[in-house]
Structure 1
């Protein structure tokens, strides 16, 4: 039963017009691409001010948490390497 269904992709749906054939010219394909990009951009919904502030805070908190994790790993690995190789830090020759 699912073989009988015909699925429609975004590339082939252009407001009731049939899909263009592959032998369309180079500039025709570019024009089709630009029309599709414009059509997709019209669907974009800009976030409200409250959503934008919320998203910004989430990103900043995530970055801060990742900085703490990476810093702790860096300190831990640095300490482990110093302990394994017995380095005192300064190399006086």
Structure 2
């Protein structure tokens, strides 16, 4: 059996099983479990360092905007609910 046939046969046997994969683009061999966990934790810390926290004034402004928006939507839903309830009562004689 030639080398290419042997390589093709071994490649066909390993498909769909999550076995060893060849390195992509010249990357090193796959890291172990603990190395992958450590890399994941380092990436989390790096992303958290990018987070920009709002100042107290910004936080109060954002909170007030959200509260006003929730109040407006709540008033709209209340008026809509009362209107539909009145319409149903008028149609069905309740």
TM-score > 0.5 by shorter chain: yes
Give the aligned partner of residue 84 of structure 1: 91
> For structure 1, which runs of at least 5 residues remain unmatched after alignment?
1-19, 88-93
Unaligned residue ranges in structure 2 (runs of 5+): 1-26
Q: In structure 2, which of residues 41, 58, 61 is the aligned counterpart of residue 54 of structure 1?
A: 61
Alignment partner for residue 74 of structure 2, among 60, 67, 84?
Answer: 67
Distance (Å, rounded) in 1 between the aligned partners of 2:29 and 2:64 = 47
The question of 1:42 aligning with 2:49 is answered: yes
Instruction: Find runs of 4+ consecutive structure 1 residues off by over 4 angstroms.
Output: none
> Residues 79 and 34 of structure 1: is their aligned pair in 2 closer, same or farther, counting only changes over 3 Å?
same
Q: For residues 28 and 65 of structure 2, what CA distance do their matches in structure 1 show?
A: 46
Number of paired residues? 68
- Higher relative contact order (CA closer than 8 Å, sequence separation 6+): 1
Distance 1:86 1:25 in 2: 72
| Whole-angstrom CA distance in 1 between matches of 2:41 and 2:28 | 17
Task: For residue 30 of structure 1, report the CA deviation from its aligned partner.
Answer: 2.3
Structural RMSD (CA): 1.9
Q: For residues 45-87 of structure 1, give each alpha carbon's deviation from its aligned partner in whole angstroms, at most 9, with x where no partner exists.
A: 1111111111011011001101101101110111111112111
